[in-house]
Amino acid sequence: MSKSNALLTYVPTTCPYCGVGCGLNLVVNEGRLVGVEPWRRTPVNEGKLCPKGASCWEFVHSPDRLTKPLIKKNGTFVEASWDEALDLVAKNLKLAYDKGGAKALGFQVSCRTPNEDCYIMQKFARVAFKTNNVDNCARICHGPSVAGLSLSFGSGAATNPFEDVLNSDLILMWGSNAVEAHPLAARRVAQAKKKGIPIIVVDPRYTPTARLADIWLRFNPSTHIALINSIMYWIIKEGKHDKEFIEKRTKGFDDLKKMVEKYADVETITGVPTEKVKEIAAKYAAAKNAVIIYCLGITELTTGTDNVRSLGNLSMLCGNIGRPGVGVNPLRGQNNVQGACDMGAYPNVYSGYQKCEVAENREKMEKAWGITGLPDWYGVTLTEQITQCGDPIKAMYILGLNPVVSYPDSNHVMRSLEKLDFLVVQDIFMNETCKYADVILPGACFAEKDGTFTSGERRVNRVRKAVDPPGEAKADVDIFVMLAKKMGLKGFDFTSAEDVWNDMRAVTPSMNGISYERMEKPESLHWPCPTLEHPGTPILHKEKFSAPDGLGTFFGIEYRPPAEVADKEYPFTLMTGRLLFHYHTGTQTRRCEVLDYEVPTGYVQINTQDAKSLGIKEGESIKLRSRRGEVVTIARVTDEVGPGVLMMTMHFAEAAVNLLTNTALDPMSKMPELKHCAVAVEKIAGVK
In tens, the pLDDT along 162-179 reads 999 999 999 999 999 999
Using an 8 Å Cβ cutoff, are 144 and 225 in contact?
no
With helix as H, strand as E and coil as C, how does 423-475 read?
Answer: EEEEECECCCCHHHCCEEEEECCHHHCCEEEECCCCEEEEECCCCCCCCCCEC
CA diameter of the chain? 72
pLDDT tens for residues 503-543? 999 999 999 999 999 999 999 999 999 999 999 999 999 99
**Closest to 379 in 3D by CA, of 627, 191, 566, 103:** 103
CA–CA separation, 688 vs 685, rounded Å? 10
Give the up-direction half-sphere exposure of residue 120: CA atoms within 13 A in the CB hemisphere. 31
Amino acid sitting at position 645? V
Using an 8 Å Cβ cutoff, are 226 and 297 in contact?
no
pLDDT tens for residues 59-71? 999 999 999 999 9
Q: Could you tell me where the beta strands, DSSP code E, fall in 313-394?
A: 327-330, 349-350, 354-355
Q: Is the peptide bond before 672 cis (omega within 30 degrees of 0)?
A: no
Query: Does residue 151 carry a pLDDT above 50?
Result: yes
Q: What's the pLDDT score for residue 557?
A: 98
350, β-bridge pairs: 354
Q: Could you tell me where the beta strands, DSSP code E, fall in 90-224?
A: 105-109, 134-136, 170-174, 199-202, 215-217
Question: What is the rounded average pLDDT of the residues 472-499?
Answer: 98
Amino acid sitting at position 536? G
Query: Does residue 687 carry a pLDDT above 80?
Result: no
CA–CA separation, 374 vs 102, rounded Å? 10
Using an 8 Å Cβ cutoff, are 134 and 126 in contact?
yes
Question: What is the rounded average pLDDT of the residues 275-304?
Answer: 98
Integer CA distances (angstroms), 293 to 172, 420, 615, 666, in order: 6, 40, 38, 21
Q: What's the pLDDT score for residue 594?
A: 87
Query: Does residue 2 carry a pLDDT above 80?
Result: no
Using an 8 Å Cβ cutoff, are 297 and 176 in contact?
yes
Integer CA distances (angstroms), 663 to 297, 344, 650, in order: 17, 24, 16
Q: Which residues contact 37 (CB under 8 A, 6 or more apart)?
A: 10, 24, 25, 27
Angle between helices 359-369 and 115-129 (to 10 degrees): 100
Question: What is the rounded average pLDDT of the residues 635-654?
Answer: 94
- Which helix (H) or strand (E) segment holds residue 636: the answer is strand 630-637
Q: What's the pLDDT score for residue 589?
A: 84
Is pTM beyond 0.75 here? yes
CA 593 to chain centroid: 25
CA–CA separation, 416 vs 11, rounded Å? 42
Look at strands 170-174 and 199-202 and give their pairing: parallel
Q: What's the pLDDT score for residue 385?
A: 98
Please tell me what DSSP assigns to residue 165. G
Query: Does residue 688 carry a pLDDT above 60?
Result: no
CA 421 to chain centroid: 29
583 falls in which pLDDT band (50, 70, 90)?
A: confident
Using an 8 Å Cβ cutoff, are 147 and 308 in contact?
yes
Give the up-direction half-sphere exposure of residue 241: CA atoms within 13 A in the CB hemisphere. 21
* Rama region for 444: left / alpha / beta (φ>0; ψ in -120 to 50; rest): beta
CA–CA separation, 566 vs 204, rounded Å? 16
Q: Which residues contact 531 (CB under 8 A, 6 or more apart)?
A: 512, 513
586 falls in which pLDDT band (50, 70, 90)?
A: confident
pLDDT tens for residues 3-15? 656 689 999 999 9
Query: Does residue 447 carry a pLDDT above 90?
Result: yes
Q: Which residues of 479-494 are buried (b: 16+ CB within 10 A; e: fewer)?
A: bbbbbbebbebeebeb
Using an 8 Å Cβ cutoff, are 620 and 634 in contact?
yes
CA–CA separation, 446 vs 336, rounded Å? 11
Q: Could you tell me where the beta strands, DSSP code E, fall in 469-625?
A: 525-526, 552-553, 572-577, 603-606, 621-625
Q: What's the pLDDT score for residue 5?
A: 60
Average pLDDT over the chain reads: 96
Question: What is the rounded average pLDDT of the residues 612-641?
Answer: 97
11, β-bridge pairs: 26
Using an 8 Å Cβ cutoff, are 69 and 85 in contact?
yes
Q: What's the pLDDT score for residue 672?
A: 96
CA–CA separation, 262 vs 367, rounded Å? 52
CA 404 to chain centroid: 17
346, β-bridge pairs: 349
CA–CA separation, 447 vs 11, rounded Å? 9
CA–CA separation, 581 vs 586, rounded Å? 10
CA–CA separation, 185 vs 182, rounded Å? 6
Q: Which residues contact 629 (CB under 8 A, 6 or more apart)?
A: 409, 410, 411, 659, 660
The share of the chain scoring above pLDDT 70, in percent, equals: 99
Query: How many residues can be counted in the chain?
Result: 688
Question: What is the rounded average pLDDT of the residues 359-382?
Answer: 98
pLDDT tens for residues 319-356? 999 999 999 999 998 999 999 999 999 999 999 999 99
Where does residue 203 rank: exposed (0-12), middle (13-18), buried (19+ CB within 10 A)? buried
Amino acid sitting at position 143? G
Start-to-end Cα distance in the chain = 50
Using an 8 Å Cβ cutoff, are 129 and 117 in contact?
no
Query: Does residue 115 carry a pLDDT above 90?
Result: yes
With helix as H, strand as E and coil as C, how does 232-286 read?
Answer: HHHHHHCCCCCHHHHHHHEECHHHHHHHHHHHCCCHHHHCCCHHHHHHHHHHHHH
CA–CA separation, 455 vs 163, rounded Å? 13
Q: What's the pLDDT score for residue 245?
A: 98
